[in-house]
Amino acid sequence: MRRLTVAVLLVMSVLVVRAVPVAAVSTDAGSRLVRPLLAGGAAHACALPGAGTMKCWGLNSSGQLGDGTTTNGPDAIEANGLAGAVAIAAGTAHTCAVVASGIAKCWGANSSGQLGNGTTTNSVVPLTVTGLAGVLTVSAGNAHSCALVVGGTVRCWGANANGQLGNGTTTGSLTPVTVTGLSGAIAVAAGNAHSCALLAAGTVKCWGLNSSGQVGDGTNTQRLTPVTVTGMSGATAIVAGSFHTCAVLGAGNVDCWGQNLSGQLGNGTMTTSSVPVAVSGITGAVSVGAGANHSCVVLAAGTVRCWGANSSGQLGNGTVTSSTTPVTASGLTGAIAVVGGGAYSCALLAARAAKCWGNNGSDQLGDDKTNGSALPVIVDGLTVGSRIGSGGGHSCAVVSSTSTARCWGNNSSGQIGDGTTTTRPTPAIVTGLIGAIAIATGATHSCAVLASGGVKCWGLNASGQLGNGTTTSSSTPVTVTGLTTAIAVATGANHTCAVLGAGTVKCWGLNSSGQLGDGTTTNRLIAVTALV
């Protein structure tokens, strides 16, 4: 296997970039500030899975994963020195984060000063951005970065050949400069060489490169200071792709503007537009993401729809056929945020697990494999749960490279899952278990979460802890009834619980002490909802 991952827990060419989405998942009380918990770069992605930690995966040639190396991350690994991280951003080959103290830190490529520490030296570990305090959120572009600070102003640093720093010049800066004439900002988005800010009034202002109309003012004229996006009102979220921009409106509609050669504006055409156009058929949008040449939204129901280029399967509908109108990414429920990269996409689920799809040439899908996928796959090492478990007298582990499982130790009730009751002093393959992403072990039973969202269990079943509607024990895996969106599983001595993509918890098995959380003390042979 490529890497043994043990995790217990509970966002191309040189111009291609993905900026941070604004996702309704972490807000400051009494304000409309929203801090991104998922970010996709050109070929790497990062997430905040909880407890203030930050994990990244994918390409690491410039140190953009922040783990002190330049070795690619085939699954999620923790960035160094980022305890208390509250917001993140990923550019082409650099990454930034905001920590709870209001300090911004960046790492990775730095040839244009995009790390903001006064140098042009790459860094494989996070460095503090010079002269910034009171940072609320941050965004990363191709070779520049921007931060929203207390008071609603925006400061940017790095490359500035096209005015993307917004200070009225085309001179780059190795440390932050203030964007001219901008106040009342509540969100910021950095694209390839343009930047945008969402204002509290619901209007949007953009500046920088405008060759494809990505600034949205009805022209193709480069702008060195912010200009108002034409006809935009009631916006609640913004995102900047390589050469296009999108906004969620208050009614849940989405408008996009800029380059449209691959249909990334989603209006049924491939005609570039320098003013906002409505994405076809989208209502109830809560979050938006933009990649190099494609876009995606999360709907209120927790599903994801994408449009634009699809040569690598980055739309997630199981095909490689591009679409000028939105298509549904398959098998996603409980999504709360989405990002697009060079030719891939990722979605954050309610319980802080993540799924990615599209190109995987640099491990950007995080599934510990090298082949791409036109369907969403789980990011290893990020899910709530564990890839290794130890029961009363036996242990199990998921083999990352094959998504199978092996168990060893006491097997008196078939808890090893190899079709026997013979004790195994060395790991034995669990029979017929394919697609495992997490595993848990009870006293005399074991359970695994599958990439499909299902759960399978094996071993003793006297109290219904296998969840298949019987009390018949099994030495091979049986399917838990009625679970299709599970992302994590945990086992007690004789009961089991699973976290679903929508954030609900279901439990089954022994309930003599109310351990299933359903308000009763009745054993359950199939999963019931815990009252959490």
Residue 52 pLDDT? 65
Q: Model confidence over 497-528: pLDDT tens digits?
A: 988 866 688 999 999 999 999 999 999 999 99
Give strand ranges (E) for 216-343.
Answer: 223-228, 235-240, 244-249, 254-258, 273-278, 285-290, 294-299, 304-308, 323-328, 335-340
Distance from chain centroid for Cα 217: 31
* Strand-by-strand arrangement of the 223-228 sheet: 185-190, 194-199, 204-208, 223-228
CATH number of 388-529: 2.130.10.30
- Read off the pLDDT of residues 340-391 as tens digits, 9 standing for 90 and up: 999 999 999 876 689 999 999 999 999 888 899 999 998 987 754 566 777 7
In the chain, residues under CATH classification 2.130.10.30 are: 38-378, 388-529
pLDDT digits (tens, 9 = 90+) for 134-161: 999 999 999 999 999 999 999 999 999 9
Q: What is the CATH number of domain 38-378?
A: 2.130.10.30
Q: What is the pTM of this model?
A: 0.73
